[in-house]
Structure 1
Amino acid sequence: MFTQFGLGRRSLPRYDAGINRDLVSQSEIRTDGVNYRNEKFYNITLGTDYHINELNVLTLSGNFAYEVEDQPSETNYSSYKNDALISQWKRTEITEATNPKWQYELNYERQFKDNEKHVLMASAIGSFFGKDQSSVFRNVATLGTIDDKDQQANTDFLEANNTFKLDYTKPFNDRFTLETGAQYLLNEVGNDYAISDYEDGQWIENAELTNNFTFDQKVLGVYGTGSYEGDQWGVKAGLRMENTDLATLLETTSVGNNRNYTNLFPSLHTSYKINKDASLQLGYSRRIYRPRLWELNPFLSLRDNYNISTGNPELNPEYSDSYELTGIFKVAKATLNSSIYHRYTTSVIEDVSTFENNVNTNKPYNIGTRASTGIELNGKYDPIRWLSINGDFNFNFFKRKGVFLDRNFDFNGRQWSGRVTSKIDLPADFALELNGNYQSGFESVNAINSGFAYMDIGVRKKLFKGKLVASMSVNDVFESRISESETNRENFYLYNRGYRGRFITFGLSFGFGKGEAMTYSGGRRR
């Protein structure tokens, strides 16, 4: 039997500034503000392994967590007409929420006597997440007069996920192996939200913004792969069939969107061992990306009434064909993986801005195709016993093609990123980790996004033979992880800038029974 429990607190500020400029009327809204997400969280995990006999094992585990959120924010607005300041006001938010959530996992594994790799595995994994949230937004004029109303929002959100899976692996000999299986995923969501405006001394529900959004998705997958592994050459071919049944509904207005589609996803991979320190791999696979819940959910946030993000229930999935050539090389104390890849994606999901009365609304749509060709390098180097260096680099050139609202979005671009991590074992059971990252700027259908670099530092100390672990980390040491985007259209211009700043985490972990304590990451239990 095993158990784990913990608690923590986080305070996460975010600083944002923006410009919404109407090029026709020569009017402009400027914003700047800060919002916090303060969280307290508690969790406990219980589990057990039951060895029925030497060939059969049953594992059951579960986790329960409870979170309390407080999200105060303050945004300053300035309104201009022909570069002249007309009015200023302040919008404040007080949001409180509680989030109960739990998950379970049941696994059964059977090994067969003829071969330790001859295995039958069955599993059931489920989770639940709830959010009971209330928000109040108030506006106070500091110069001139304003039309913005005070508002409040109440949200009752429930999400349940269950996955049932059966896998069977049968090696016929040392070279040939057959793997088959099936998986059934169920995802059910209800998001009941109500918006009210403060008018004549009372709260009046806004019928146009109040609704209950339900999301019900079922995915059945059946798959099989066959593989051959020789002394130097190997090949693996597979085929997966998936049926997706999706239904979304806005209950109050009876607006629904039902989708049912079946797809085949083939894959083929082959490998060749040049010698013990070098090998090549060549592969093809077809993939699907289904829109996430928040890309489908039409609920909008009221934090900033001039910059709104909303989902699109009519989104279709993306489909990608991926080709990849990989080389794996070992030289002394270094390992290098290098890949050349090409991916072609259809029905690409991208956010698009629409602009009216100085209000920018971001909404995702399926727009055209994306062809991306690039190179990826991953390496590890352990020059001495107490030092380990890991790094990766990714560069790609892409071509976008698409038309939206009679506007042609064809363009070419490039994007690259890099990361280097150093882990250093120090005397007295101290450990130090340095992590440097860079993300280049890139162009999307909606905007030109700037690049940024940032660094994280972490230190850990083991006490009492690893039973107690003290850890501290500093994320974004130089407060340089700043995101900026610009949108230039014929009729409007948008600028947005945001960053979280330096984030410091301190944690203590204590392990009971066998084994060492885990290291506290500063995050919530997912």
Structure 2
Amino acid sequence: MKNILKTVLLGVLLLTGHFLIAQERKTVTGTIIDATDQEALAYATVVITERSGTRVTGVTTDENGNFEVSTTVEEFFIEISFMGYLSKTIKDFEIGTTIDLGKVALSPDSEALDEVVITRERSTVEFKLDKRVYHVGSDISSTGAGALDVLNNVPSVNVSIEGEIKLRGNSGVQILINGKPSVLASEESKALGTITADMIESVEVITNPSAKYEAEGTSGIINIILKKEEKKGFNGSVSANTGTPDNHSIGVSLNRRTENFNFFTQFGAGYASLPWDNESINRNLTDDTEVHSNGTEYRNEAFFNITLGTDYYINDYNTLTLSGAFTYEKEDLPSQTTLGFYDAGDALISEYLRAENTSAKNPEYQYDLQYKKQFRNNEDHVLLFSTLGSFFGKEQSSEFTNTPTVGSETDPDQRTATDFYQRDFVFKLDYTNPFSEQFTLETGALYEINNVGNDYAVFNQENGEWVPDAGLTNNFEYKQKVLGIYGTGAYEGERFGVKLGLRLENTNLNTLLTDTNEENQQDYTNLFPSIHTSYKLNDNYSLQLGYTRRVSRPELWDLNPFFNIRNNYNIRRGNPNLQPQFADSYEITSIFIFEKASLNSSIYHLYTTDVMERVSTFEDNVNVTTPMNIGTNRKTGLEINGKYTPVRAITLSGDFNYGFFQRKGDYQEQNFDFSGDQWSFRVNSKFKLAADFDLELTTNYQSGYPTVQGDVSGFAFADVGVRKRLWNGKAVINLGVRDVFSSRIWESNVYQDDFSVYNFSQRGRFFTLGISYSFGKGDAMTYSGNSF
């Protein structure tokens, strides 16, 4: 099968090279100068735009104000802009193979400068044929925040207090970093929260991914694009943050751009503490006894990280990029949990304090090598090869001490030792050929290798000695290989566009418990088609339709039958026999764009089979949660996103999502058929105040919803931030408060005939203060913690 796939890929790549239709290219040249002093304007923007208003291509001027840009479009005009200057549009010129505009003078405009600064600091959303791009601005509430906080501000995305990411209320989301799988986005490493807001350029939300993307993720794909400055000369930024609970960091970002090289580096260090309040009640309904657990957990983390990379521009058409990153984290995870045992008359019969002392060392590194070839006929005619390697390790030890406070009965003291590693390798080949202004062909292949090991040991104290617990000790090995090839063809005219694609993937998965020799092997091949269409009724209104088929494969912690024993009465286990779930996604979207407002709405339907669902079982008052494949889920929903700018100083934006779902399935002779709904909304308000102050307010609400065994409660929370800009934005001071009313909670119930379980978690209020300063041609940006 693999040889067949490779042969098909080679044939497709060779075939696409014959589809190029030669067109006459027109080259536009000129020099941009200041109308006042006639000095050259370096880094001004020159854009070629079709008569219909569609932007075709663009460049920036060099240090002498010169530019050269080419296009095959027959009718176009030229837009020239620069920060602090009035933009100029040139429509009258003689069409030929070479168009020399000579010297073009731009006039200064102080009001325009203020407006550009505001726009640059605010997040915006851009709509494309098969995705939405959320350009991350310097939102005040993101000061001192990580990627999870940024994602929680992105339309359609919700992040739970435990860090679970959902898209339109659905789990099964594939997280990519710069378009590729990464250990940073894996559930095992918990490293996604260490990417900081200032490192993120944009977030792509792809609810119906085309066949170009890996088929993983039944709910869609979230692609986080990290920043990489490429301004000529030497640029940099220095920043420092502090906060409560502890969130202290310093960071430096540097960039040096020459004619042939772009060097970039970021490094920083800091300390953070994340408290977490938890409460649970296990009720045995056969004898009316209860177990109550409540306490506070901490994740205290000291860290250091550095990123190094370079782009080598071999010539105008070939670029080689090499980057690497290293992070070292030292964790201290103390916790104290009180466990109380109650009889049928609600009388406390015994209680003890379970204290945890956990320490861990986490080395993380990754490297990325990429070769990009652009062809002479079109800058979008590209061959791209990339390889990514990454490693995450965890050496962790824990000690649990039980001290009786009521009565004398306790569970034994325990120790654990964990040796965990994850090695990932990704090889990608992508070829894009826009063989005319309207038609584009894409093809490529991916080969991904995931190799994970988790050596986990538990020891119980018996008669003063530490004795291994054979039932909880084992070495779990996880190996997965995915080979895929794809092809897409797209037509995009002035009003109508369509994109068709097909992806073929083969998955080979092997898990092994080495101590007990329990093995699970899975090998399957699937086809994943995709269809996207768009129709532009006029300049203000357009429609998009899409269909894709997706898969969510079980991850390590879904399969690993062993988990931590922080609370022996609430345990999460994996299921080595868990199967992947598949989904068919349908969507129609309308987009309205007005002078001061934009509005888009989507009606979607998601049909999922072999749904992976966490199911609770109960024995001896212990709640064990295990993922299972349970039936099907049909979800139909409505999503609305909008933005309104009544005046230049005020921007209002929001999004609303409502979904109705129907579940069908059985497990161990228990019927799980039920239906329910789920909805959420977010409103963001930004105000420009006097003296270069900005104010930002964000409110969120997520409704409750039923689950296969109970329900999850709803909650609301709010964030607020204030910013002061100094020296025309070269320095910025931010003050932010996340979860102002300490109301962001996670609360769930399980209701069964013979038992019930209640769980509650809360993070609480966070205060952050940050200051940053830029030099060279860089912009002030806040480094807010641990990141790659």
The TM-score, its normalising length taken from structure 1, stands at 0.97
Find the counterpart in structure 1 of residue 426 from structure 2.
Answer: 163
Pick aligned residue for 1:62 from 299, 324, 345: 324
Tell me the equivalent position of 1:390: 653
Report how far residue 221 of structure 1 moved.
1.3
Matched residue SS, 2:578:
coil
- Separation (CA, whole Å) in 2 of partners of 1:82 and 1:446: 24
Based on CA coordinates, which of the two structures has the bigger radius of gyration? 2
User: Identity percentage over the alignment?
Assistant: 58
Classify 1:48/1:432 alpha carbon distance in 2 versus 1 (closer, same or farther; 3 Å): farther
Query: Shift of the alpha carbon at 1:383?
Result: 2.5
Q: Are 1:130 and 2:393 an aligned pair?
A: yes
SS at match of 2:558: helix
Instruction: Compute the displacement of 1:512 (Å).
Output: 5.5
Displacement of 1:169 in angstroms is 0.8
Distance 2:741 2:700 in 1: 12
The answer on 1:201 being equivalent to 2:467 is no
Q: Deviations over 1:379-419 (max 9, x none)?
A: 12222323322211110000000000110000010000111
Partners of 1:511 and 1:207 lie apart in 2 by 57
Q: Counterpart of 1:85 in structure 2: which amino acid?
A: L
Instruction: Give the letter aligned to residue 249 of structure 1.
Output: L
Equivalent residue letter for 1:307: N
Conserved in 2, the CA contact under 8 Å of 1:471 and 1:520?
no
Shift of 1:479: 0.6
Give me the whole-angstrom Cα distance separating, in 1, the residues matched to 2:620 and 2:416. Answer: 23
**SS of the residue aligned with 1:207?**
coil
Gap regions ≥5 residues in structure 2: 1-262
Query: Residue 441 of structure 1 aligns with which residue?
Result: 704
Unaligned runs of 5+ in 1: none
Number of the residue aligned with 2:279: 17
Q: Distance in 2 between matches of 1:382 and 1:56?
A: 42
Two-structure CA RMSD over aligned residues (Å):
1.6
The alpha-carbon deviation at position 517 of structure 1 amounts to 3.5
Q: Is residue 8–residue 42 contact of structure 1 (8 Å, CA) maintained in 2? A: yes
Cα separation, partners in 2 of 1:511 and 1:200, compared to 1, 3 Å: farther
Q: Alignment partner of 1:295: what SS?
A: helix
TM-score, scaled relative to structure 2:
0.65
423-432 vs 40-49, which moves further: 423-432
- The structural deviation recorded for 1:308 is 0.6
Distance 1:471 1:250, change over 3 A: farther
Deviation at 1:422, TM superposition (A): 2.4
Kept in 2: contact 1:508–1:520 (CA 8 A):
no
Query: Higher strand proportion, which one?
Result: 1
Q: CA–CA distance in 1 between the matches of 2:391 and 2:691?
A: 42
Match of residue 758 from structure 2:
495
- The letter of the residue matching 2:342 is Y
Q: Does 1:49 find its partner at 2:311?
A: yes
Contact 2:340/2:350, CA 8 A, preserved across alignment: yes
Classify 1:506/1:393 alpha carbon distance in 2 versus 1 (closer, same or farther; 3 Å): same
Q: CA deviation at 1:126?
A: 2.1
Q: 2:727 and 2:327 mapped to 1: Cα distance?
A: 28
Q: Which residue of 2 aligns with 1:6?
A: 268
Q: 1:507 to 1:131 in 2, by over 3 A?
A: farther
One-letter code aligned to 2:281: I
| Shift of residue 175, structure 1, vs aligned partner | 1.4
Please name the residue that 1:112 is paired with. Answer: 375
Query: Equivalent residue of 2:333, what SS?
Result: strand
| Structure 1, 210-219 or 451-460: larger mean CA deviation | 451-460
Cα deviation, residue 426, structure 1: 4.0
2:335 maps to which residue?
A: 73
Equivalences for residues 363-402 of structure 1 within 5 A: 363-402=626-665
Q: How many residues align?
A: 525
Question: Alignment partner of 2:557: what SS?
Answer: helix
**Residue deviations 1:269-327 (CA, integer Å, cap 9, x gap):** 11111001111111111111112222122222111100111111211111110111110
Measure, in 2, the Cα distance between the counterparts of 1:432 and 1:248. 52
Secondary structure of the residue aligned to 1:515 is coil
1:419 is the counterpart of 2:649: no
Cα distance in 2 for residues equivalent to 1:464 and 1:47: 30
Q: 169, 174, 178: which is aligned to 2:441?
A: 178
From the two aligned structures, give the one with the greater helix fraction: 2
Deviates more, 1:500-509 or 1:51-60: 500-509
What is aligned with 2:580?
A: 317
Shift of residue 509, structure 1, vs aligned partner: 4.1
Q: Which residue of 2 aligns with 1:405?
A: 668
What is the alpha-carbon distance in structure 1 between the residues aligned to residue 521 and residue 335 of structure 2? 37
Q: SS of 1:294's equivalent?
A: helix
Q: 2:352, 2:410 within 8 Å by CA — same for their partners in 1?
A: no
- Structure 1 segment 295-310 matched on structure 2, within 5 A: 295-310=558-573
> Higher relative contact order by CA 8 Å / sep ≥ 6: 1 or 2?
2
Match of 1:223 among 482, 486, 489: 486
Structure 2 SS opposite 1:177 = strand
Question: Shift of residue 525 of structure 1?
Answer: 1.4
